[in-house]
A and B are shown apart, each in its own frame.
Chain A
């Protein structure tokens, strides 16, 4: 089993239901009927409850709103997009282009459809003989000839799907016009002309029956999705105009059918942008015929799959595309229908790079910006970034090898040493919690833990010193230069703190109500845990209220000893320095000191309990 490194996750107050109702009430001013199940005093946080899913974050993930004085997690911030850019060429795309051209890079940035590696444009011209390498004019001669997109990772080339380009720039535009195999996509004008030709030669469309004759199958090959759509559209438009001219006064019964003009014009208005929808359609009734012909947009499903089966035989499973590749493919209207066709890897087209965004983040309550990236795309810096690590004390966990018998006897103890990977059940283990204060004021910290961890296997937890103070995060040099501080620390020496309970010459004992060590801006305290036995037969047969106890086998990660701990940080700030303009008058009254507090639940993961 993988060893577990101790972790600290903080629950953002936004996901605490009691907090939520409180803040909502304060916002709107209307009292919300309190949820009796979530009394703030009674409710202990259970890190394993389904409710706490996605609410625990490492400190590094959290932001802090300076105006609300509250932790903000990725769930409780409002994001807004600052810029769109292509991750490959790092060009900014204006949002107006985005609406017209879509969310992909329209320059020459493409990804390999097979392995998503970046593609480069290479000349397809045969390279000159190696003997001519020394000739100086070789380098000067530019590559002309056709170009292809090439993947340097897996050596895929767009020549494999028959796509070559005339120019080396503007690949996106060129690719949009090319179908697989190199044939050009029909333009709207060409399509119109071709249609006209067919109508003239075929004698007015709709005349020929859609029988399973050979030539309809051939036609289908030629019809791509765009052509079919235009064919269908013009057919239905013709049908609509016919039905208006020959309208008879029947009841509205036919209005609901598929073939009724009303529903048809409604559907068409959905697909063609509302231009066809008019009030007159209400009066139309009767039914119309459907498309009967490829020229009218009918495509008969091709049930003959022998070609696909044959190809599967020859190429095997490696020749087919997987879901990921298929999903990465941008839609391309120039290709024929997928009726009766299977997707093979040999048909995939290059993928234009998806654009990315830089986002700024706001506090949802006060709308202040708490994270704002630099507008320039090439830089990864932030203009504003209020990370919680600069405001909230960090908690680090270190196993402490305290031999209990010796500790009670007061004999010297070994220093902090690595513990075995797992915790022994029913055997007390000690951990050092090191609180580090990042702010420039001294803080007072109160901790609260349930005596027994929530969950089926309740371990006993004792925080030996639940209340303590941490000095301010002053300048390192200030502290070092202070004579007074140096003298005080003389006995302890070096990194060791100045306050050690019951310590004489390196002897240390965990003592209730005393901190373990103290430094410039940190304090370490001891937590004693007695891990529960993970054996199911030790579980009580009945809960305290007589409910049934879950006797199912050990679930995933249920052997991890997690301690919920409520942290309350209190400190005082100069109110004047906080926000000058608005509260200047009021702060004078308050003697320029303001009390601040921050309280949140966090979870300490200490280690796995051995299952022996």
Chain B
């Protein structure tokens, strides 16, 4: 939920306001990105093969590059690349001033700008989840639940499950196959069905491709 929208329910959809600069993009030809997705920022946004970006998903690269892996699903009203510091950005102009300083070990990347958010393959970002920028990494096959919030610099392992409204603190490192509950408890997932889930994700993407009209040309 962006703060530019009021907390009241609207009977009609609020207009999509493209605020801030248009970011440079690197799209694979096979992605599905809705016309009304919102891409802002000054750094490159990379989306790899077969990923799906729902309408009204917001990708903000003013805090660093955004890289989305293969077969990811970014649901609506999710915010990738939120300004660090807990709160969601109020204005895009303010986010640039809140830019996280580049960390050690990423110097070689400075040519392309600081890394903002990196999503591995098969990541699902559910509705209204937000990921703060600042070298935040989400591993392969991880599901970020509805309204989950990931702090800046957090590193989430592979095949994790974040239940709805989970908050991951900034800089937190979460091992692979962890389930995080919204009350803070954690558990290790021992099902070993990662492959199955990846297949399921691929099938879901098949369906979504038919349902979401894609318009990558708009963001060129």
Binding site for B on A (CB under 8 A): 114-115, 126-127, 129-130, 133, 153-157, 159-160, 315, 318-319, 322, 345-346
Contacts and interface: CB of A to CB of B under 8 A. Distances in A.
Contacts of A155: 143, 161, 179, 189, 191
A154 B181 CA distance: 7
Nearest to B160: A155
Nearest to B193: A157
Contacts of B199: 127, 129-130
Given A130-B202, A315-B188, 8 more contacts: A114-B187, A127-B200, A130-B199, A154-B161, A154-B163, A155-B161, A155-B189, A346-B190
B196 interface: yes
B203 A130 contact: yes
30 contacts: A114-B181, A114-B187, A115-B163, A115-B181, A126-B196, A127-B196, A127-B199, A127-B203, A129-B199, A130-B203, A130-B206, A133-B203, A133-B206, A153-B163, A153-B164, A154-B161, A154-B163, A154-B179, A154-B181, A154-B187, A155-B143, A156-B187, A156-B189, A157-B193, A160-B189, A160-B190, A315-B188, A318-B187, A322-B185, A345-B187
B103 interface: no
A291 B188 CA distance: 42
Contacts of A154: 161, 163, 179, 181, 187
Contacts of B196: 126-127
Query: Chain B interface secondary structure, helix, strand, loop or mixed?
Result: mixed
Contacts of B206: 130, 133
**Considering the complex of A and B, which 9 residue pairs feature the smallest CB-CB distances, nearest first?**
A130-B202, A318-B186, A155-B161, A157-B191, A160-B190, A130-B203, A154-B179, A127-B199, A154-B163
A318 B198 CA distance: 27
Contacts of B191: 155, 157, 159-160
Contacts, number: 46
A308 B171 CA distance: 32
Contacts of A322: 185
A319 B196 CA distance: 25
A153 B143 CA distance: 11
A349 to B, nearest CB: 15
Interface of B: 143, 161, 163-164, 179, 181, 185-191, 193, 196, 199-200, 202-203, 206
A180 to B, nearest CB: 13
Nearest to B161: A155
A115 B180 CA distance: 11
A157 B206 CA distance: 26
A123 to B, nearest CB: 11
Nearest to B177: A155
A366 B200 CA distance: 62
A126 B186 CA distance: 27
User: Which of A129, A133, A159, A318 has most B Cβ within 10 Å?
Assistant: A318
A131 to B, nearest CB: 9
Nearest to A160: B190
Contacts of B186: 318
B73 to A, nearest CB: 14
A159 B193 CA distance: 10
Given A127-B199, A130-B202, A318 B185 contact: yes
B172 to A, nearest CB: 14
A96 B200 CA distance: 44
Nearest to B204: A130
A129 B203 CA distance: 9
Contacts of A156: 179, 187, 189
A159 B196 CA distance: 14
B182 to A, nearest CB: 9
B199 to A, nearest CB: 6
A130 B190 CA distance: 24
